[in-house]
A = this chain, B = another copy of it.
């Protein structure tokens, strides 16, 4: 996972539901708790996310990871960059798929029995 991708995914996740545990976040991102914590820490230290407490609906204590205004801006920037990257990947993957198909076909024609 890229730096931008990780940040995008975290920011997106938090924006959609600020009440989320680091473990849930880790799960959603498919990374370890340690790493999720590390990512979150980075965003907090850079002022993009503010952590606070709140009471969950049923009186359970929980944390809140809320995007700050600069966090919202950052998320936009990160999304823009990530989108551009994905678009580039999309184009290149299409080319590769065509090339792979041609290659398979050629192989089938030459050594066609298995």
Given the contacts A72-B111, A111-B72, A114-B73, A96 and B104 also touching, CB distance less than 8 Å: no
Tell me, yes or no, whether A28 is within 8 Å of chain B by CB.
no
Closest to A77 in B: B114
The copy count of this chain in the complex is: 2
Chain B hits for A72, CB < 8 A? 111
Chain A interface mostly: helix
A88-111 near B? 1/0 per residue, CB < 8 Å: 011001101100110110010001
Q: Are A97's CB and B90's CB within 8 A?
A: yes
* Of A18-26, A33-41, A53-61, A78-86, the one touching chain B: A78-86
> How far is B12's CA from A111's CA once the two chains are assembled, in angstroms?
16
